Amino acid sequence: MKLIKAIIKPFKLQEVRQALSSIGVEGMTVTEVKGFGRQKGHTEIYRGSEYTVDFLPKTMVEIAVAADRVGEVINTISKAASSGKIGDGKIFVLPLEHVVRIRTGEVGHEAL
Amino acid sequence: MKLIKAIIKPFKLQEVRQALSSIGVEGMTVTEVKGFGRQKGHTEIYRGSEYTVDFLPKTMVEIAVAADRVGEVINTISKAASSGKIGDGKIFVLPLEHVVRIRTGEVGHEAL
Amino acid sequence: MKLIKAIIKPFKLQEVRQALSSIGVEGMTVTEVKGFGRQKGHTEIYRGSEYTVDFLPKTMVEIAVAADRVGEVINTISKAASSGKIGDGKIFVLPLEHVVRIRTGEVGHEAL
Amino acid sequence: MTRSVAGSRWLLAFLPLLWPLTAQAQPAATATLNTGDTAWMITATVLVLFMTLPGLALFYGGLVRAQNVLSVLMHCFAVTCIASVLWVAGLYSLSFSEGNGWIGDLQHIGLRGIGVGELNGRTYPETVFVMFQMTFAIITPGLIIGALVERMKFTAMMLFTALWLIVVYAPVAHWVWGGGWMQKEGVLDLAGGIVVHTTAGVSALILAWFLGPRADFRARIHPPHSPGMVMIGASMLWVGWFGFNAGSQGGANAAAGMTMLVTHIAAAVASLTWTLIEWRKAGKPGLVGIVTGMVAGLATVTPASGNIGPMGAVILGVLAGIVCYFACGLIKQRLQIDDALDVFAVHGVGGMMGSILVGVLGTATFGGSGVTSAGAQLVTQIKAVGFTALWSAAGTVLIVLVIKATVGLRVGQEAEYTGLDQAEHGETAYHLD
Amino acid sequence: MTRSVAGSRWLLAFLPLLWPLTAQAQPAATATLNTGDTAWMITATVLVLFMTLPGLALFYGGLVRAQNVLSVLMHCFAVTCIASVLWVAGLYSLSFSEGNGWIGDLQHIGLRGIGVGELNGRTYPETVFVMFQMTFAIITPGLIIGALVERMKFTAMMLFTALWLIVVYAPVAHWVWGGGWMQKEGVLDLAGGIVVHTTAGVSALILAWFLGPRADFRARIHPPHSPGMVMIGASMLWVGWFGFNAGSQGGANAAAGMTMLVTHIAAAVASLTWTLIEWRKAGKPGLVGIVTGMVAGLATVTPASGNIGPMGAVILGVLAGIVCYFACGLIKQRLQIDDALDVFAVHGVGGMMGSILVGVLGTATFGGSGVTSAGAQLVTQIKAVGFTALWSAAGTVLIVLVIKATVGLRVGQEAEYTGLDQAEHGETAYHLD
Amino acid sequence: MTRSVAGSRWLLAFLPLLWPLTAQAQPAATATLNTGDTAWMITATVLVLFMTLPGLALFYGGLVRAQNVLSVLMHCFAVTCIASVLWVAGLYSLSFSEGNGWIGDLQHIGLRGIGVGELNGRTYPETVFVMFQMTFAIITPGLIIGALVERMKFTAMMLFTALWLIVVYAPVAHWVWGGGWMQKEGVLDLAGGIVVHTTAGVSALILAWFLGPRADFRARIHPPHSPGMVMIGASMLWVGWFGFNAGSQGGANAAAGMTMLVTHIAAAVASLTWTLIEWRKAGKPGLVGIVTGMVAGLATVTPASGNIGPMGAVILGVLAGIVCYFACGLIKQRLQIDDALDVFAVHGVGGMMGSILVGVLGTATFGGSGVTSAGAQLVTQIKAVGFTALWSAAGTVLIVLVIKATVGLRVGQEAEYTGLDQAEHGETAYHLD
Ligand SMILES: Nc1ncnc2c1ncn2[C@@H]1O[C@H](COP(=O)(O)OP(=O)(O)O)[C@@H](O)[C@H]1O
Ligand SMILES: Nc1ncnc2c1ncn2[C@@H]1O[C@H](COP(=O)(O)OP(=O)(O)O)[C@@H](O)[C@H]1O
Ligand SMILES: Nc1ncnc2c1ncn2[C@@H]1O[C@H](COP(=O)(O)OP(=O)(O)O)[C@@H](O)[C@H]1O
């Protein structure tokens, strides 16, 4: 099993969710994060002084999936999250050793 | 060492913390997240129109532990976080290669 | 490749970012988290009653890097984040199997 | 004057008389300044300004998404400023100087001729009257903001406001309150069911239709980002509304007292009515619901509050709660018009309803006063409401066309997604960490 | 009249005289309307309503957890509406029409007989008096909300409010202000130390006891979710309180000026006193602390503000700061009663203290006026406070039993954990992203 | 009296006459109480208090970081309390009793001799005058808070306020409004361009310089944590300012009406002017900008609002928008003085500008009144502004030295990083989860 962490632009969350849902992936956990990268933050100007907001609001989507679905999920996310502009984000894949569903005690693929 | 990520219902956080504390696990990092899964969000109704809040507030607890304590920790969390209802959440276990305690420079198990 | 997760004191974020930037690491994702550990929370007193705030605000910095840069990055973070006081935080290193840059489709080191 | 005759005369009427041929002296005013009336009118003016800043701004600001709240506050604030300047520049004169039945003249342009001691037949200074009426000219376009939030360009909104005040507000204010034809026909509208709520409500609906719905209006609308902010704003509207209605009696007199009382009763009854319906229909009584009911009650009682008694207030309150509740669903769900914050359904429908029903509830039968023949008064009221609605609609269409041809109505798609706060104003509402 | 005699007579007193046998004409009122008094009384009414909406609502709303803030705002708003309607329906008549020493009659039911021009012996319209007193009947049950937050059912709260206004508020208002027995005995209570703060404080304590503590009251209580909101609300209470106290002088007169002054002094002194104690005891001077001190000072000075001078105000301010501070700890820590927002300790204790001490501080020795014999006045005051406290307690017990037997007092455990905003009202306070 | 003479006399002047040798009877006042004037003055007092609590507190609180917002609210609240107590204790007497040209005497210490019925030659009670002027003594040190936020110790701030009121405020108030030398020279300052804005603005700048900049002032300043809160506060300032300016006319009269009108015009024009400049310079019109423009406009018109007409108000509005906008950049960017919330640039510069320009705009040429010779009046005004600025600067330096030698000015570095809310007050502003 793998844990996929995708950092995307916040306004793409809906599209990504729908796309994942259409390939049968319904479970995910979403965190609001701040991104630093090539895409730069912005300045806000108050009373003639510049104030730097150097991070960008981003959304992190974490999805645990069976190893054999990783490619499909990556592609789906990539397509849905892409705007073609800088700052579209990244997808990270981490090994996932074990999963438990708290309610039932199911483990492994059952628990996804 | 392993990194345990548990997604639980927010109001269970206190119980989970106390349970972990009682088995000697004091360190953890907690993030507020939004969950999507089988448990569905809710609608809020304003002036006769339905507004969908499709995520559920969840709490993610991350705990780095020695490999030999993983089973115990999972059981403890499972018990404390369970309400028996849908949406109780999941526990993910990831391999953890290295840990450093910033203050002292200790590494590995020492640093947990 | 590795995913480095550093839990630091929020007011050290600027320094950590600048230090990382000076060794050429510009990309990172930052999350506000609540920490529990040896450093204890505080009490707020209202109208003579004590209210416990048992977590501490912490900042989690996640950085994906090539395996050969891990040591350098850890050292840089350690130095910049250290105040020598309890609660300075921890650095966790996790294996990272795959990275994709959504905009270009680049993968692996290219995508970092 | 029938509507067809009116229609044929108005173009003529507007032009030649704008500048008074002879600066007529005001009829010798025998009134002297009364400090109690003056104290109350200054206070009432403050209260009505408070309704817009920050009352209405918060009421509206809490209803939108967090990424657009500042743009709403900005709109309300900027509208206040632009309306104030235009009022002083010429709109007060157009609205309240003599002119003809359709529009005032320009004798008071730039407040010419309004000296410190001028009473103009009132018991309080004309400067205070100018200010009091200015706060109405501020809040009326302010109400329209509710229809255009989360997608209209700031420049377009400003241009709209300026033109709308000239084309719609000033004439209607003149007709009803400034000595114009409706006033001469005996229309009853103490504090603006016609001048304020009908004009703003109808124009809001038309504007919303031209703007088109917000990006995700059909798929999913977002809940109010801060119901608490909505409630704070609504509370300020409630307390300020006493300035609005009781202030419209022009003094600290017995009529102001009764107006205050019936205004309050209608608000309380409408709140409870709305809440009960919502409780039944949606399963739970909500905060946004109860305060919306209150606003509906106040909008509805406004035109009638000078003529009804407590019984009339209860009736209007109940009707406001019921009719405005269902009007919201009708516009948004059935007609699928994204009048985002329900300006037409709450203010427009309420204001029109109250403006018409005062014809009945102002009779002694219902504990009212000032209406002797319900039938005749109803005709007068309906004609006035109908004509004002048409005028507002036509004026709005005209202005929208001008804006479309010049600065454009709507922000780009990306700006809408990012939120207007960043895109239009370069600011972020909540930096909480 | 001794308490035992009172006890035996009241049941009789309440019943037969409710409906006036002959609709007595009011004694010929020679007063004429004074516009200055009217201007001030309308303004004072607006200020007192502003105290509840949004003042008190924010003061209380900021003190609870984020998941319950909307329910607090909702409670305050709904109480305003229900109290308004009941006041108009019959409570005004029960409180302020003639009746007997225990309760008014029903001659003004539905505001019957209160015409536009009616002065009823005052210098401002009776409609304004109805409104002014209504705002007191709103805020008094509003205060009780502080005791029941985060766990009481909305239906139960509404039912409680309605019954409590009938059983507790209207009679006590009649005794002290409506010509009832306390007034005849010469009780001093300008603006409601007895009628407002004793009744609300005692009832809050009893209700909190019956409700039981919030889920985690013993293990860990949660800090105020928004001290800033608390401060905003408190500030509005401060400015509004001038309407409350100075408005209770019934006109824009010299007495109102002095009342304003002593009210302000007590508030400022109590704030600083509280803060100094907190600074010493808790190590830091906090915002919630200083504003709580202010509210304590205002509650304490309220009954006395018509009779004391600046020196008396300083004394009451110091006492309010000290006594109310320690009362908070006493109730919550010692007695372990979860009067969540300290209604009894702050309002009840303060109000009772001020109501008693006016008997001393109103003497010329302390720069006061209106009290010639401190001893006799003290007896009168203590008797009135004591009897009112007992009546309030008994009334509350009765009502609680009714509610327990019908709709039930408390929400379920899950609702309490989730928060009342979602569970009871289906809303979320902060959608900030 | 030339400045050099003034300089040589003041030390002498202050000492011997503090305690009146003979408690002189006030000149027989023939005025009687006017209820309308009284109603308005009570209301105006409430409005000015509302400007500080919560108006100014929110205006400032929204501009700082989330970790310091409570400390700002706390400062405003505590300043209100301490100023109130000192005012009653002795400052009112020093400011407004007879004394000499430099300072009043102590005949009204502890409000001695101010009875309920005292009018002291006015048409409203002296108690109300005491209260009205107290609200000015509250907001003036309140303004200074904007310079010291995010780094000054709470104790230091409190000590500063107390000393500053004695050393700077009370004398200047006496000079200009209390019968002192400036008043005798015919200085015009209706509502405090000199007494309020010049003193506060200059002192703020000096204090900011001594405090030094916030930790990351050069590297990166943080945007306002809540522009919405800023706007709410600004709106309250706007509505409250009518109490400030029109209230300074001392009654509900024709002059109050004109003052209200020109005050409003200047605010609206300054808001738009500022916004247009910002739009051009920074690319976008922002909410914080437009409301800052408004405050600049109000500060600027304040001293002139008793003497100018609408034309003068427009001119002052335009100038306020332009000059204050660029003053902000000048102080922060050029001079690198961290007057954090631009107290000098907005209030100080605006107030001084208005105080001087009234000498011209108060002439009939500009539709004003009360100035016959612009040249002579300008000299009087400039002298008064200049001398007050110097006095304020000197007083502030003195006080800062005292504080440095005692409690210390600034919190430690860690407290500054953590935020003053936690470090100084033990509280957290937003517990939203
Ligand atoms: N090395 C990295 N480690 C962790 N997160 C990263 C890294 N590089 C980029 N990110 C995240 O991805 C987001 C987008 O990256 P950015 O370089 O701005 O543009 P792009 O996605 O087009 O390459 C960043 O805002 C940050 O949240
Ligand atoms: N595949 C997944 N990857 C990541 N998080 C998941 C996944 N499935 C579920 N979750 C998280 O677990 C929470 C609970 O899951 P849900 O399916 O609602 O109920 P249950 O825990 O009873 O299976 C979700 O809200 C989400 O945060
Ligand atoms: N075992 C752990 N798993 C995950 N996070 C931890 C763990 N231990 C500590 N942390 C995180 O590191 C932070 C600092 O740890 P703490 O024990 O307080 O001090 P120190 O860093 O000096 O050891 C905690 O607040 C928590 O966020």
**Whose atoms come closest to the Cα of C10: which ligand?**
3
What is the best residue among B29, B62, B104 to mutate for testing ligand 3's pocket, by most ligand atoms within 8 Å of CB?
A: B29
Mean pLDDT value of segment F157-162: 98
pLDDT classification of E41: cutoffs 50, 70, 90: very high
Answer whether E333 sits within 8 Å of C49, measured CB to CB. Answer: yes
F15 Cβ partners below 8 Å, 6+ apart?
Answer: none
pLDDT above 60: residue E18: no
How far apart are the CA of F282 and the nearest CA of chain A, in angstroms? 6
Minimum Cα–Cα distance from B70: chain A residue: A98
Model confidence band, residue E13 (pLDDT cutoffs 50, 70, 90): low
pLDDT tops 90 at residue B48: no
Q: Which ligand 3 atom is nearest residue C86's CA?
A: 22
pLDDT score at F2: 43
| Interchain proximity F223–A49, CB inside 8 Å | no
Task: Express as a percent the part of chain E with pLDDT over 90.
Answer: 90
- Tell me: the pLDDT tens digits for E194-231? 999 999 999 999 999 999 999 988 777 789 999 999 99
A97 interaction partners in chain B (CB closer than 8 Å): 2, 93-95
Give the pLDDT of residue A43.
82
Share of chain E above pLDDT 70, in %: 93
What is the rounded end-to-end Cα distance, in angstroms, of chain F?
64
Q: Considering chain F, what is the average pLDDT of its residues?
A: 93
Kindly list the residues from chain F whose CB atom is less than 8 angstroms away from the CB atom of residue A45: 278, 281-284, 286
Least CB–CB distance from A29: residue in B33, B38, B82: B33
Please tell me the predicted confidence (pLDDT) of residue E151: 98
Query: What ipTM is given for this predicted complex?
Result: 0.94
Task: Give residue-wise pLDDT tens across range F57-75.
Answer: 999 999 999 999 999 999 9
Residue E23 confidence (pLDDT): 38
**CB-CB under 8 Å, B49 with D281:** no
Confidence of residue F99 (pLDDT cuts 50, 70, 90): very high
Nearest CB to A49: which of F284, F326, F333? F333
- pLDDT on residue E249: 98
Contact D56, D76 (CB under 8 A): yes
pLDDT digits (tens, 9 = 90+) for D338-371: 999 999 999 999 999 999 999 999 999 999 999 9
**Whether the predicted pLDDT of C71 surpasses 80:** yes
Percent of chain D predicted with pLDDT > 70: 93
C37 CA distance to ligand 3 centroid (A)? 5
Compute the mean pLDDT over every residue in chain D, rounded to the nearest whole number.
93
Chain F closest-CA separation from residue A43 CA (Å):
9
- pLDDT, residue E64, reads 97
pLDDT at residue E367 is higher than 80 = yes
pLDDT at residue number C40? 87
Domain ranges of chain E: 31-213+225-424
Q: What is the mean pLDDT of residues E267-281?
A: 97
With a CB cutoff of 8 Å and minimum separation 6, the contacts of B15 are B80, B81
Query: A9 CB less than 6 Å from ligand 1?
Result: no
Q: Please provide the CATH number assigned to the domain covering E31-213+225-424.
A: 1.10.3430.10
* Cα B31 to middle of ligand 3, angstroms: 14
pLDDT at F207 over 60: yes
Atom of ligand 2 nearest to the CA of A30: 27
Structure tokens, C95:
């294996």
Residue E31 has pLDDT above 90, yes or no: no
* Residue pLDDT, tens place only, F5-63: 444 454 455 543 444 433 343 444 468 999 999 999 999 999 999 999 999 999 999 99
Q: pTM of the predicted model, to two decimals?
A: 0.95
Distance between A28 CA and the closest CA of chain F, angstroms: 21
A11 chain-D contacts, CB cut-off 8 A? 417-418
Tokens of D2: 């029938």
Tens digits of residue pLDDT in D16-44? 344 443 334 344 446 899 999 999 999 99
Q: Which residue ranges in chain D fall short of pLDDT 70?
A: 1-30
D404 three-class SS: helix
Question: Helix/strand/coil (H, E, C) string of chain E?
Answer: CCHHHHHHHHHHHHCCCCCCCCCCCCCCCCCCCCHHHHHHHHHHHHHHHHHHHHHHHHHHHCCCCCCCHHHHHHHHHHHHHHHHHHHHHHHHHHHHCCCCCCCCCCCCHHHCCCCCCCCCCCCCCHHHHHHHHHHHHHHHHHHHHHHHCCCECHHHHHHHHHHHHHHHHHHHHHHHHCCCHHHHCCCCCCCCHHHHHHHHHHHHHHHHHHHCCCCCCCCCCCCCCCHHHHHHHHHHHHHHHHHHHHHCCCCCCHHHHHHHHHHHHHHHHHHHHHHHHHHHHHCCCCHHHHHHHHHHHHHHHHHHCCCCCHHHHHHHHHHHHHHHHHHHHHHHHHCCCCCCCCHHHHHHHHHHHHHHHHHHHCCHHHCCCCCCCHHHHHHHHHHHHHHHHHHHHHHHHHHHHHHHHCCCCECCHHHHHHCHHHHHHCCCCCCCC
Return the residue of D nearest to A42 by Cα.
D426
Ligand 1 pocket residue status of C61, Cβ below 6 Å: no
Residue E25, pLDDT above cutoff 80: no
Query: Which of E73, E75, E235, E242 should we substitute to test contact with D (largest number of D Cβ atoms within 10 Å)?
Result: E73
d(CA B76, ligand 3 centre) in Å: 19
- Interchain CB distance below 8 Å, F285 and D425: yes
Residue pair C10/C45 in contact (Cβ under 8 Å)? The answer is no
Of E53, E154, E425, the CB nearest to D239: E53
pLDDT band (50, 70, 90) for residue E24 = very low
Q: Which two three-digit tokens encode residue D78?
A: 């900027």
Mean pLDDT over F321-335 rounds to 96
Going from the Cα of D273 to the center of ligand 2, the distance in angstroms, rounded, reads 41
- CA of B79 from ligand 2 middle (Å) equals 17
| Partners of residue E424 in chain D, C-beta under 8 Å | 284-285
Is the CB of A81 within 6 Å of ligand 1? no
Minimal Cβ distance to C49: which of E283, E326, E332: E332
The mean pLDDT value for E357-380 works out to: 97
User: What is the distance between the alpha carbons of residues E127 and D257, in angstroms, rounded to a whole number?
Assistant: 5
pLDDT, one tens digit per residue, over F125-144 is 999 999 999 999 999 999 99
What pLDDT score was predicted for residue E269? 98
Residue of C nearest to A60 (CA): C29
State whether the beta carbon of A28 lies less than 6 angstroms from ligand 2: yes
Q: With a cut of 60, say whether residue E255 has pLDDT above it.
A: yes
Cβ-based neighbour number of residue D302 at 10 Å: 32
Read off the pLDDT of residues F233-283 as tens digits, 9 standing for 90 and up.
999 999 999 999 999 999 999 999 999 999 999 999 999 999 999 999 999
Chain D CA closest to residue E133:
D261
| pLDDT tens per residue across span F373-401 | 999 999 999 999 999 999 999 999 999 99
Local confidence band at F4 (pLDDT 50, 70, 90 cut-offs):
very low
Any idea which ligand is nearest the CA of B55?
2
Residue whose CA lies nearest to ligand 2 atom number 20:
B87
> Given this model, what pLDDT does residue C45 score?
85
